[in-house]
Structure 1
């Protein structure tokens, strides 16, 4: 079976940044969508480089005309060689912005060479003794010509000024929406960031500005953990900006995140609390709580669970599109089996759905909090049901590795 390349390996093969790979995927770069991310075939990347699917590798479309309008490969007839060159005619491939040649010497040894012009229009010919084929030589030529382009137009062209609001739109469209499953959350937080930074030049934002933004969120009532989520988003955004050449440094790197030790205390549900909670919750909420307590699945995994993932014969649930990107299987115990059999007659592909819209639930926070309040259970979050599942497994003597695999 052919091995597929990761985004990082594809970036190394194309000699571009990972963020540029994501952007090129929206412009025709051949790729395969997997549940755990994007994958690439090496042969597709080589074809994309060799023929008319060639795209610019920089944010400002460096070498777009040269790379995308490459003429078909032609073989030139070279004149008879002199000196070290053999009398045999070398094979030459014309890419429009330079040539790749296979030279054959009197010793019958062969060597790939590249031929192009520098920023002063001086002809440059280089031998590539370690290159094994035409594709590798073409990649080397492309890199050299890109460097010539950068020197000719100055480094400031790639590091041009851009305002925060404009780059946040680029980040959301060409990065977050492609690689981040929770990009809608990022979109909401970016709106808050845009209100604060407005049209400030991206490269003029300092660590002090970042501190001021964080302080403003605390005053607005956000918790320290929520402020950390804003900081993490801002840090990712500036990392992409640095890769693209818009900024030289990431101002968020000098800002220390808040400690979350006091805010992330786990709350384990006792058996008595579980009985009281299940006894008072609604008919729609009860099966959701049962699957959370008996599988440890995340909230989004439960709400998006489909019957195609539930195998009642083998009594297991197949969890796809997990946060970790890994496929996992969770056994179904008797309590959960009986509940799933009761729900199996519904007419929706989803196990849990809103009867009014026939679509999966987005959230049941209000119903969950109301049920907890009615039975006097304080400080319990839905995510704590996942902690309860893991804690009970450990108490029964299940090893940590197995628990980790079940949680995903």
Structure 2
């Protein structure tokens, strides 16, 4: 059976094309591969078989031009009925956050640098747990895109998400409430004037 499908011939030995062959019952079988899984379709004529194969081949190629929205929609359809409604709503919530940054962007334009930039911004605005779930969802999206052949590599593999207790960047300034506390602590101390000069001028201790 596998040999017949690979050669793509009818019962008379005429070549039909890849993934198409004629069975002993004279029907034509079209084998379609999607997401690493094969599925067979059966039609009555060779013409119908070629048309069907061409249709699915074109659809598979078109996926590479679609955006993240389309891949997420595919996944959501698959998830519906297989996971709890609350879990589905949770995915939708996190995708709405993500879509503010990557909505409608073609898959072939999404680079590791672009994704990392988005994650960095998210970590400045949302809780670590929220960012982690968004990254996990992105991994699912691009894993499916990679399975479909929509992307040649997975840009999420190199993404880094900082731990819950590690700051995204090193803060080298004081907030307004911190400045007030600093001023109160300085009052009456020997180098209070010097500390305040450094605070408001921005010069270094050596320059002071």
Structure 2: give runs of 5+ residues left out of the alignment.
1-8, 33-39, 42-48, 167-208
Q: Is the 8 Å Cα contact of residues 145 and 151 (structure 2) preserved in structure 1?
A: yes
- SS of the residue corresponding to residue 162 of structure 1 reads coil
Match for 1:233 among 116, 122, 137? 137
C-alpha change, 1:164 and 1:194, in structure 2 (3 Å) is same
CA distance in 2, matches of 1:149, 1:221: 49
Superimposed CA distance per residue, residues 356-399 of structure 1 (whole angstroms, 9 cap, x where no aligned partner): xxxxxxxxxxxxxxxxxxxxxxxxxxxxxxxxxxxxxxxxxxxx
**In the alignment, does 2:16 pair up with 1:118?**
yes
The one of the two structures with greater contact order (alpha-carbon pairs below 8 A, sep at least 6) is 2
C-alpha change, 1:185 and 1:244, in structure 2 (3 Å) is same
C-alpha displacement of 1:177: 2.4
Q: Is the 8 Å Cα contact of residues 69 and 103 (structure 2) preserved in structure 1?
A: yes
1:175 corresponds in structure 2 to: 78
- SS of the residue corresponding to residue 142 of structure 1 reads strand
Compare the two structures and name the one with the higher helix fraction. 2
CA distance in 2, matches of 1:221, 1:125: 57
C-alpha displacement of 1:116: 6.8
CA distance in 1, matches of 2:158, 2:108: 15
C-alpha displacement of 1:206: 1.0
Which residues in structure 2 correspond to 1:92-131 (within 5 Å)?
117-119=15-17
CA distance in 2, matches of 1:150, 1:202: 26
CA distance in 2, matches of 1:180, 1:252: 24
Superimposed CA distance per residue, residues 155-190 of structure 1 (whole angstroms, 9 cap, x where no aligned partner): 665131112233333322x12324433111001011
**In the alignment, does 2:159 pair up with 1:255?**
yes
Match for 2:104 among 199, 206, 219? 199
Which residues in structure 2 correspond to 1:137-216 (within 5 Å)?
141-143=29-31, 157-160=59-62, 161-172=65-76, 174-181=77-84, 182-216=87-121
**In the alignment, does 2:127 pair up with 1:222?**
yes
1:375 corresponds in structure 2 to: none
Superimposed CA distance per residue, residues 186-229 of structure 1 (whole angstroms, 9 cap, x where no aligned partner): 01011111111122112211111111111111121322x33121
- SS of the residue corresponding to residue 157 of structure 2 reads helix
C-alpha displacement of 1:124: 6.9
